[in-house]
Amino acid sequence: MKDELLKDPRVLLWLAAVALSLVLIAVHPTGEGLASGLKYGLDLEGGSWLQLQLQGALVQLNIEPEKILQKQFNTSSVETHGDSYVVTVTGEVPATLIDDLGYSAAKSARRGNETKITIVSSPESLILNYLKNRLDADIKIVSLEPVVYEIRTNVTRESLNGILAPMGGSVVSGDEGFKEGVTPLTVDETKRVLDSKLNRLGLQDIKVRVVDNKFILIDLAGVDVASAQDVVGKPGKFEIRIQTEGNETMHVLYGDAVESVEIPRGDRNERWGVPFALSEDGAQAFRKAAIDAGANTNPNAHEVSMLLDKEVIFSAPLAADLAAGLQKAPSRDMVAEVGMGDAGSQKAKELYIHLREGALPVNVIVIGSGQVAAALGSQFKFQMVIAGVIALLLVACLVYYRYRERRIVLPMISTSFSEVIMILGIWALMGWQLDLAGIAGIILVIGTGVDHLIIITDELLRGGGEAVATSIREKAVMAAEKSGEKVAGLGSKVYMARLSRSFSIILAAAATTIAAMFPLLLMGFGALTGFALVIIIGVLIGVGIARPAYGRIIGYILSA
């Protein structure tokens, strides 16, 4: 009988799942000492949390593009011809002015004392270009009917009206004309970039939550609040600028012109650099800026700077060979050399992250922060372990009180404990963080799991009709005799029929529990997501692995 039990595929699956889970969560040596396969959340590990506000607005505008051109070129002669605008200006118009205004593709022709400038553009694109220049920000058209502009920086209705008023323009009145926040697509993109940046710094499974398309909440377990603000709060608009004269610089390109980035590399002298490649348009823009500034002939006087949120993160002159090469043709492949030794290696890693992931699509500011001390997190961890042990002991006492039989207590509690081990194994395998809400879910799984095991046991003992002090074996015999059957072991008809009935009840209860947890899982209310996920995984492990194995084990005990 024992050999038959050990060969049962349900029992073998259960044993294998428990063994694999123990391997996944086992303590193992690392470069920093001993560590478990489990990762803990902010409330158990200690760390910091941040609240970020996305700076931006969705606006509708009343403005005529012709008046924008009149203002920009200081003329009253602007004609519209299909998709083109023809601007007539008295005298000569410097090519640099046209480029600075963002019309590098425009064509100009001098006729006598007049210059005609032909600009091919839609009205929306022309307005967008003007706003970009005035606000020095990234702006997108997110709707055409009506036309809605997404301004990805801190802006108010009053400041926009001030910019548009000289041309007779304004923001559309009412709530639809100006909404704080950005589109869900921009929020998702911001969250994705933040996730990637944090993970590349070794901060795995960071919890990043979005609220109302305006705010992002981040938990960083094991990271102090100052470091968290450095990592999360500072990244933003990535830009390359070039020095012109004195301390003045001019814009060259934004992060979207960086097409690819290679892993940082060091040479024999431990000089670290980050190779990257520009797009074709980006390379052309870089060459033009270098020539206009004079960096190709005197690179030391015209450093190239990389900025995040207008803060310089890298600055250096062009290499001599690159400067000479730009005079002949644009160069797409470049290397940003950042320093030497360990400090250079760290700077190269940080610059690689910023280049590799690009800029955040929208500016963010830190509006709130806090910290959970590591000692407090360890205390929470210890208290939750104690709570779990107490829960198992109380369940064991109640089970013994119900059946007054030690032989049934051990397999029931062992099965329940194995479910906890398997849940933790999945958590370790997936690299998810275990937090207080997750542990609360595990304790709840223990309770629902024991309920199911009691259903199985009671169904197999149903019909015995004796006091609870009666032995399990006697109950089973009496139940079988009432059914006109003999206790024939694991394959008896009575055993199989009652086991099937118990599982029909358990499956219905499990389906109900999962259905109740799904809204919490899908809505993503922070810690409640982990709570719901633990319960759903625990229920699936129970009905798929633990309950079938327990059914075979209790059948063996009844027929022993």
Whole-model pTM over 0.75: no
pLDDT tens figures, 282-303:
888 888 888 888 888 888 888 8
Q: Which amino acid is at 504?
A: S
Of 169-173, 198-202, 217-221, where does mean pLDDT reach its minimum? 198-202
Query: Which of 146, 144, 94, 87 is CA-nearest to residue 120?
Result: 87
Query: Given pLDDT bands bounded at 50, 70 and 90, which one contains residue 419?
Result: very high
How many Cα atoms occupy the beta-carbon half-sphere of 364 within 13 Å?
Answer: 32
pLDDT tens figures, 302-325:
888 888 667 787 888 888 888 888
418 beta partners:
none
If DSSP states are collapsed to H, E and C, what string results for 228-267? Answer: HHHHHHCCCCEEEEEECCCCCEEEEEEHHHEEEECCCEEC
Evaluate the omega torsion of the peptide bond into residue 146 and state whether it is cis, within 30 degrees of 0. Answer: yes
What domains are defined for the chain?
2-45+373-558 (1.20.1640.10), 58-179 (no CATH), 240-340 (3.30.1360.200)
pLDDT at 358 over 60: no
Longest dimension (CA), the chain: 118
Strands (E), 329-479: 333-340, 364-372, 433-434
H or E element in which residue 124 lies: helix 123-135
Query: Which of 299, 334, 290, 302 is CA-nearest to residue 320?
Result: 299
Query: Given pLDDT bands bounded at 50, 70 and 90, which one contains residue 149?
Result: very high
Average pLDDT in the 538-542 region? 92
- Residue 528, number of CB atoms within 10 A of its CB: 16
Cα dihedral 171→173→175→179 (10° resolution): 0
Tokens of 79: 């004609």
Pairing of strands 238-243, 304-308: antiparallel
Q: Is the alpha carbon torsion for 251, 252, 257, 261 positive or negative?
A: negative
Three-class SS state of 432: coil
pLDDT at 238 over 60: yes
Quote the CA–CA distance of 477 and 493 in Å, as a whole number: 14
* Top-confidence residue, 46 or 332: 332
